Structure 1
């Protein structure tokens, strides 16, 4: 069953758009790599500067959507050589973005290792809702390619789905040694890629791309059901850590909510003020404002233990002072960077 008429001209247009020429000097290749490098620099600079507008600009410029949707089209056409080429372009492009992110990280990484950076924090806790959003966005992107009359939605698709920014974040976090968070940002990218390929494959099949491709005398191989099984399997595989991430975020929110009143009561003893309370992977992170003398971190550690948070580590940032680390189950706190 198909939705609407897809003719040979549509398939030729889609193939010309999504399949990048093999030659490095071809217009398609130079455009792809040139835009990718520029988008990578823009994204990494936007993340370092914590600028949402700059990061959005990188999303619009980035050309990674082309080989990703090209992979979906090649899967539908069962064109193995194009599948391999598109996958290599995606992998090579991703590694290039990470490398550029690492380069800018070595040059401009802040002293706090991006701890207060909103662009970083929004991309290191992927959840199931991110997969759902990516599936919807990928569907719109594939639909816009099939229907030339709605192709003006593609810039919105580029903004809605995050490809280059999480890779730039991955590179930046590698440079400061935050390897777990770098993996999480990479997982967000993998989630979006899997969703685009899956939805693109389904949309192209539903629109009867294979039949139209035969009419255009393009090579069409034998499509096996196991291809769809493999695509769905990748989605399920991606969903497992996303489920874990969703549960982790939920637990962190509860932990932060429980820790805030305890921290506020502790800070009031020394007439200090709680600036922020959050939890990251089970670690309570608290920012405190005030004038010397500073309140004792061990007192807060003990108060958290008494209120059922003895299994959570404590990271205490004293503005005007140093950062203290109070390990779960301990009775002393150490000064970080001392």
Structure 2
């Protein structure tokens, strides 16, 4: 059976358990890096910059208390479990607050509708859980094996923790509450996966026995603790399954809507910049010069092609946004009257 030595266990506890004093080196490091990561991630999302967002992933220290929760569960150290959980929750809320602040300062006119960093984090699926489980396993494995600890930066990039929280804050600012909840679900998925895989790896490597040998306080590990961790993962999997079905449906809807939209745009010599579907809503980006083709004509064309039950949102790049609900035959300009 795989095992770790006393030195490794001491290294793990020193790395994962952040000291209580806010002035301690581990605490100031955690909060300092977290605030900076939140700012970097928020700026990267607002600027739609992949490189900047990746930088935030590397800087972000949230992986530490999350894996700390797993280690505390294995050691049955209730006080550390509570402390790590508080750090994760308070850290997450801090990043969301920073995202909201940046949203108030720099929210674009289209409310991030065309932002790829946002759209990639508001449709979590089962495949995201699978990836998070694999990445969390690598992260825990790198902790118990010092010889592969150089993989941790890659783990930080692969497991997205701070960017979804920044997206949540930004979307709350612009009133996209459902999508904000979806990005928060992605974060929760990653947390559940890291805790589950971390707990499993630490148990397999016999961390409890070695910790007792090293003089650390180790409580009684109950089977229901492991059952609770598994239950949380399964609980997260339920909305992810729904999300997987929704994404598949939306992709089919977008594929059906694109030729209809392109035919509509040619009547005014406009161009279709993008066609997406989000939770059953067709979202179309359009480029061109006045006069614009009538939005009601596109609404009618979608109805004729079997998409009468799908709401329609038309974004004129550099112009207005038209909202054309299903079963109405009409459209409204955001903040204006019927058109």
Residues 59-98 of structure 1: matches in 2 within 5 Å? 59-98=57-96
SS at match of 1:222: coil
Pick one of 120, 127, 150 that aligns with 2:125: 127
Correspondence 1:180 to 2:178: yes
Correspondence 1:297 to 2:295: yes
Consecutive unaligned residues of structure 1, counting only runs of 5 or more, are none
Q: 1:15 to 1:88 in 2, by over 3 A?
A: same
SS at match of 2:48: coil
Residues 193-272 of structure 1: matches in 2 within 5 Å? 193-272=191-270
- Give how far 1:292 is off: 3.1
- Give how far 1:110 is off: 1.3
Give the TM-score, by structure 2 length.
0.96
**Native 8 Å contact 2:110 2:315 kept in 1:** no
> Would you say how many aligned residue pairs link Structure 1 and Structure 2?
336
Q: Distance in 1 between matches of 2:184 and 2:213?
A: 40
SS at match of 1:295: coil
Q: Distance in 1 between matches of 2:107 and 2:269?
A: 34
- Give how far 1:317 is off: 2.2
- Give how far 1:280 is off: 1.0
Could you tell me which residue of structure 2 aligns to residue 112 of structure 1? 110
Q: Which deviations, in whole Å up to 9, do the C-alpha atoms of 1:278-305 show, x marking residues without a partner? A: 1111111112233333222222211211
Q: Which deviations, in whole Å up to 9, do the C-alpha atoms of 1:225-281 show, x marking residues without a partner? A: 101110000001100111111111111100000111112222233333222211111
SS at match of 1:200: helix
Superposed CA RMSD in Å reads 1.2
**Native 8 Å contact 2:268 2:292 kept in 1:** yes
Q: Which deviations, in whole Å up to 9, do the C-alpha atoms of 1:50-86 show, x marking residues without a partner? A: 1111111111111110000000000001111110110
Q: Distance in 2 between matches of 1:106 and 1:269?
A: 38
Q: Distance in 1 between matches of 2:184 and 2:264?
A: 38
Q: Distance in 2 between matches of 1:116 and 1:303?
A: 23
Could you tell me which residue of structure 1 aligns to residue 326 of structure 2? 328
Correspondence 1:14 to 2:12: yes
SS at match of 1:110: coil
